[in-house]
Each structure stands twice: as C-alpha cells, then as structure tokens.
Structure 1
C-alpha cells in the first residue's frame, strides 16, 4: 500500500507529464510584450507643446522675479497705496488705476515732475519706493457734462465769428493800451520755436487787461488753475474753462496774448499778456487735453 506522501508525489508527476509547456504562457513571457506595447503607444509631446510649457514656466518665473515698487497715488485729495511692477509702462498703470479711482485710462494724466508719457516705464518715469504720484482726470459723468457745455460754446463761437473782426489781436485798441507799455521787466524769458513742459514754479511776470501783474499757478492734483493778482487769487476749476484763444504779439513773437474762455461771449474772456511762447502748448494741454478724446 502506498503512503499518502507517495500518492501526492505521483499526482504531481502525472500533472507534469500531461502538461504542455507551450500551452500556458508564463507570467514573465506575457508581461514583456505588454510593456513594449505601452512604450510604443505612449504619446510624445510635440515641439509646440514643449515650447508652450517653457513659455508658461518663464512667465511664472517672471512674475516671481518681477521687481515691484510701492508708492502712493493722490487723486482728488484721496491717497491710495499702490504696488506695481517697476518695469511696467505708465499705460499699464493707468489701466490698473481705472477701477481704483473710477477714471477711464484715456482721461488720466500721471504727473511725476511733469506729465509721464504712456510708453515710459515706472522706473524711467522716476517712480521710486515711497514717492507720491499725482493723477489728474475726471470721471465719465463730469466729462459728459463738460462736453455738452463745450458743444454749446462752439456753436456760440461760430455765431459770434460771423460778426467779429479779422483784425489781429495785437492791433486792436483794447489790447494796444496794454501792449504799448512794452515787455514787463520781470517777464519770464520767451523762447520762439520750442515747446517746454510747465515749470515747477508759477508762470509770472504777465499782465491782465488792466495792466496789473498776473501769475498762473497750476494745481493739477486739484484740477485747478490759480489766477493770482496783487489784490486776490482766483481759483478756477479746469472744467470751467471752455476754451483758450492765443496769438503771437507782433514784433515780440516769443510772447503771446492769451484768453481763458470762461463763458460763451467775448466779455467772458480773461485776457493775459506776455505769455512765454514755449509754455503755450503745455498750458492748453493741462487745461483742455483731457476733453479732446470726447
């Protein structure tokens, strides 16, 4: 009689003899083709995808490494703490400020030792940590109100122009009585054929229609220009000035006669004499340029 151990060994032997070694693939033989198939079918990134990934990484690294500057923006007597990229442009800063101060980008003027140009970076414009930056501009409702007034003024001017004289201003009797006194001894030097930004000090040494001394102080952070005489200082809102008339003084073309239009008629003009020619465009830009887009 066979022992149970002998029976088990006999069964194992029978199974080994009856089993076809080629009928059941081993795990080792089965896994290999699967691994090879996965490698062949795996999606390889194309050059465009690799480039996109690289650009994204560069963009993210740029954001991390971007040099930023902290400063204050002053608008309508309110102050705002701003942190912005030092190498971003003034135009980008204006867009950033739209929602903060409620003034559209094209109606903003950034003042840093004069008006900063859109293409300048904050660095080249002179913005440094802790400095104050003045923003001049008006909100859309104010712009629309002034535009309506200016259109009415233009219509009134057209009507007046049909009856007004073509005689040069400097030859009209009303102006001759001031001009015949000659250039004031304390007049600021006039320069012909050049344009300069507004100086950091008031424009002085000019005369009004009574022959009295007059000076102009531009308070752009308040949207005002102060017209000062010996007797008093008149603080005019820039939006109250509907237009500017000017003309070179014959024989002294480096100076101009200039009038601030405060109403619809000739009687509403505030005349100023011996305005240096190089500042005329800057004066017009400071007062009127914000409305030209509209």
Structure 2
C-alpha cells in the first residue's frame, strides 16, 4: 500500500510541474508575440558628433546693415551733402547735423513734407537719393547776438554797475522803459509768488523794444523765446543765471536778464515781467538748488 501511494503522489507532482511549465511557456510566447507587433521606436540619443552637425547645419542668422541714402540738407541757403542710414530717425539726423551746421539739436526744425517728428525714420518719411531736406534753426551765437548790448550800452552798464545803480535807472534799460507799459502787458502783482501759467507769458519787451513772449516747455526742458520774427528754443540747462529787479514806480513788474552764454554780455533782457512769476521762472529754469 505504501509503495502504491508514493507512486501515485510522484505522478501527481510531475503533472502539476508540467502544467506549470506549460503555463509559463505560454505566457512568454504571448509576451513575445505582443512585443513583435509593437512599432520600433527610433533611437533618440544624440552623440556629440551629431550635436556638432546640427549646429553647423543650422541656418546662419542674417545680419543686415541699414541702407544709406545720399541727400542734400539746406540750411540758411547753404547746402550740405549728407549720407545717412534710412532706418535712422530724425532725432538721430539732428545729432549728426549739429556739428555740420552749427545749430544745437534743440533749435533744429527738420522739414520733410512738413515738420518731421524726431521719432520718424527717413524711410518712413520717403527720403530718397537726391532728395532735398530743409533745416530751420538759429545758431546759438545768433540768439546771443540778439541780446548782446552795443559798445555804448556796455559802457553804460559798466558805469551803472560800478555805482550799483538799479536796472531801471541804467541808460541802456531806460531806452525801453521810457516807452511806457505795453498795451497788452499781463497784470502784475507785487509781493506774490504764483506758479507759471499753462500759457505763454506775453506782452513783454526785449532790448530792441520788440514784443517778446516766454513759453516754458518743462516736458522738453526748454524755454522758448518768441518774437514777431522767430522763436528760439533754448535748453534750460544752457542758461547760466537769471537776474531781475523791480521797476521803480511799477514794482509789480521786473526787468529780467537771462544769461544765455558764459558772460554777462550774453544776457537776454526782458522788460515788464509780471512780478508774481519771477521766482517761478527762476525755479523752472535754474532749479531751486541753484538759487
């Protein structure tokens, strides 16, 4: 009985082992079949040689230089041959012209089909080869010349300065003041300080007795001195000093000298300046730290 039982047990164990091996083989065959049906994936690894090939085969970045154009600038009947990039703007052109024509950029007006704005390029404005560009603007020396006193006036000023005579009593200023208050002068207030108005100060006179107005372009850091003949745009940082004194008998108005150059001889004299704006004019142009 024992031998028979052992034989039966061995047969049963062999059957189970064979069944297990068959199952494993079957699963392996199924997995192999599935893998064979999957699409092969490309090798995504890139070695150093391939990397260099990619870099060397890439398209180079195009570096293009702005096309230049030859044209003529006309200023005060003088002609200047200019070669300048079309993609540069009017502001850059003004910088280029400053040394050639002797007019500061702030005093230049470039005329290309009307007044050209600084941010417009020459290409946008349609400048072509052989075009003529008009530039309007006074040299700073010309502006100073308007305010430069004659030899006699200088002598009178030296004499008056030696005796510390008030402006309103000096001979060179009396020539203007004796003409009386201009009809269109702005109202003046003494012992008062007002902010600059949003409009020009007008109704005043210059040393020639002509009408003059002052416009304060704070956003441009400029003061515009306007007369019947022209308007000069003066950078505020080029003004060295400002002097003023009340007019005797009319203390609500001042005589004011705006120094445009390096010496007192370059003062631009303005008469009948409303007293309430004198301090604000100095503050705006010179800054309170210089007063």
How high is the TM-score relative to the length of structure 1? 0.44
How high is the TM-score relative to the length of structure 2? 0.44
